[in-house]
């Protein structure tokens, strides 16, 4: 346990030192996110938080493995950690370029798919999947490739989509990484456990500077790197399971970003169908409708409903922790029970989303003079 504590604490310490240096350098270079009408912050804020997280994760883990001789040189997960680090670096580099120069959506999707496919080719892949009612999706190459790429791309973008509130993606990343560590440790996936601990330690150190009011933002660089790393670690944590993998448990482990993404996509799709009818069912029209930005993400709805930034943050941290506990508590349940639980959570989430939307819309219809000033988002 002391060895694993070192893997957690060293990246934390490195992040505490590296992040102020990145803030100083980004400020001197003018690499800032400037306020606009569509953004919530009111002052220019450095963008390169993802660089600090990547440095802290890599340096902290390398230092830990240097001091832990049995783990550093003899255990079988070192190569896989290098592959994982390479994928995280590629996703982070894509996000950093997007932060600085704005990459077109199609180009971003193509690069993400390429990185995810390379990750599958190098051995990080979804195997046999246990479905409801006793069905099993075998781990043949084609379905495994498609599912693995879809999983990595969806989780990566889900973490980016919730990055709209100071400290939200970082804090949920800490909670999710610790949940994945617990799963990996149970199945003796040493490489995944170490990677999850290093990431959670680095994010915990970075969170000191990212809580509202944030002194530095993760940017797409950080959100992509965190989402990619957690997506790969989540599937790796189950690869030694003696039965077909139940995707529900990793799905719950990354619950808040994935639940938010699924519900927002469903709401946008239903709205598109109501507006266009059967003529709106063209695949490209559906994709454009689902990808259209709005203020319907869960953190937007909480803020529009009257929560201030810190209360919204606390509520979403609590939700993420609860979903993590559910994931850990149901890992030995039957496939039907877990799929039923997931369906129940989706239905409950959709109902809660609609309730929050109605509350937010009602609050926004009230004249400003007749209501309290709306709290300003902090991220």
Residues 6+ apart with CB under 8 A from 361: none
DSSP state of 81: H
Nearest-angstrom CA–CA distance, 1 and 181: 13
SS3 call for 33: strand
> CB neighbours of 127 closer than 8 A, spacing ≥ 6?
139, 144, 239, 244, 245
Cα separation, 132 vs 142, in Å, equals 21
Prior bond of 213 cis (ω within 30°): yes
Report pLDDT for 222. 95
* Residue 294 CB burial class (10 angstroms; 0-12, 13-18, ≥19): exposed
Q: Check residue 376 and give its pLDDT.
A: 47
How far apart (Å, rounded) are the C-alpha atoms in residues 15 and 131? 41
Please give the chain's pLDDT, 379 residues, in tens: 677 788 899 999 999 999 999 999 999 998 888 766 555 556 788 989 999 999 999 988 787 677 665 554 444 444 567 888 899 999 999 999 999 888 998 899 999 999 999 999 888 888 777 777 777 776 788 888 999 999 999 999 999 988 888 999 999 999 999 999 998 888 788 788 888 999 999 999 999 999 988 999 999 999 999 999 999 998 887 666 655 566 777 788 888 888 888 888 888 888 877 777 666 677 777 777 777 777 778 888 888 888 888 899 999 999 999 998 988 888 778 878 888 988 998 899 889 888 998 998 888 887 554 545 554 444 4
* Distances, alpha carbon 192 to alpha carbons 45, 48, 187, 357, in Å: 33, 26, 10, 38
- Phi, psi dihedral angles at 332 (to 5 degrees): -110, 10
Q: What are phi and psi of 75, to 5 degrees?
A: -90, 155
Burial category of 346 from C-beta neighbours within 10 Å (exposed 0-12, middle 13-18, buried 19 and up): middle
The span from the CA of 228 to the CA of 225, in Å, is 5
As a whole number of angstroms, the distance between CA 228 and CA 148 comes to 12
pLDDT score of 73: 44
CA dist 91 to 119, 175, 197, Å? 11, 21, 20
Q: What's this model's pTM, rounded to 2 decimal places?
A: 0.87
- The per-residue pLDDT for 90 is 96
CA distance 261 to 35: 25
- Say what the pLDDT of residue 378 is: 47
d(CA 137, CA 130) in angstroms, rounded, equals 6
8 Å CB contact between 48 and 26: yes
CB contact at 8 A, 164 and 316: no
Q: How far apart are the first and last CA of the chain?
A: 36
| Helix and strand totals (H; E) in the chain | 15, 4
Q: Residues 6 or more apart from 379 whose CB is under 8 A from it?
A: 40, 41, 163, 164, 165, 166, 167, 168, 212, 214, 217, 299, 309
In DSSP notation, 244-295 reads: -B-THHHHHHTHHHHHHHHHHHHHHHHHHHHHHGGGGG-HHHHHHHHH---S
| Rounded Cα gap, residues 139 and 161, in angstroms | 30
Query: Which residue in 62, 64, 49 sits closest to 18, CA to CA?
Result: 49
- Output phi, psi for 46, to 5 deg: -55, 145
């Amino acid at each position: 346990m002391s060895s694993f504590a070192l893997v957690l604490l060293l990246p934390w310490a490195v992040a505490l030192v590296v992040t102020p240096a990145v803030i100083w350098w980004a400020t001197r270079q003018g690499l800032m996110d400037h306020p606009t009408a569509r953004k919530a912050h009111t002052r220019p804020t450095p963008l390169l938080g993802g660089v600090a997280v990547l440095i802290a994760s890599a340096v902290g883990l390398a230092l830990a493995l240097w001091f832990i001789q049995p783990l550093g040189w003899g255990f079988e997960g070192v190569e896989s950690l290098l592959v994982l680090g390479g994928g995280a670096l590629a996703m982070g580099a894509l996000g950093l370029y997007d932060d600085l120069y704005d990459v077109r959506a199609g180009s971003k999707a193509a690069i993400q798919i390429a990185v995810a496919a390379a990750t599958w080719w190098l051995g990080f892949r979804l195997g046999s999947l246990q479905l409801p009612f006793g069905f099993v999706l075998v781990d043949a190459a084609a379905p495994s490739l498609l599912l693995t790429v879809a999983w990595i791309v969806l989780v990566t973008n889900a973490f980016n989509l919730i990055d709209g509130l100071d400290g939200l993606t970082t804090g949920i990343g800490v909670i999710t990484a610790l949940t994945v560590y617990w799963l990996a440790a149970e199945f003796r996936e040493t490489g995944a456990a170490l990677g999850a601990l290093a990431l959670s330690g680095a994010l915990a150190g970075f969170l000191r500077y990212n809580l509202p009011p944030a002194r530095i933002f993760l940017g797409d660089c950080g959100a992509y790197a965190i989402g990619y790393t957690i997506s790969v670690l989540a599937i790796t944590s189950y690869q030694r399971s003696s039965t077909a993998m139940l995707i529900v448990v990793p799905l719950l482990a990354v619950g808040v970003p994935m639940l938010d993404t699924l519900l927002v996509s469903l709401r946008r799709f239903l709205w598109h169908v109501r507006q266009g009818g059967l003529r709106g069912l063209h695949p490209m029209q559906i994709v454009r409708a689902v990808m259209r930005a709005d203020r319907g993400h869960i953190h937007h709805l909480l803020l529009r409903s009257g929560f201030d930034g810190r209360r919204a943050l606390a509520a979403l941290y609590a939700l993420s922790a609860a979903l993590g506990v559910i994931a850990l508590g149901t890992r030995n349940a039957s496939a039907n029970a877990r799929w039923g639980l997931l369906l129940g959570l989706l239905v409950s989430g959709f109902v809660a989303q609609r309730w929050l939307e109605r509350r937010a819309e009602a609050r926004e219809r009230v004249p400003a003079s007749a209501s309290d000033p709306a709290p300003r988002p902090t991220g």
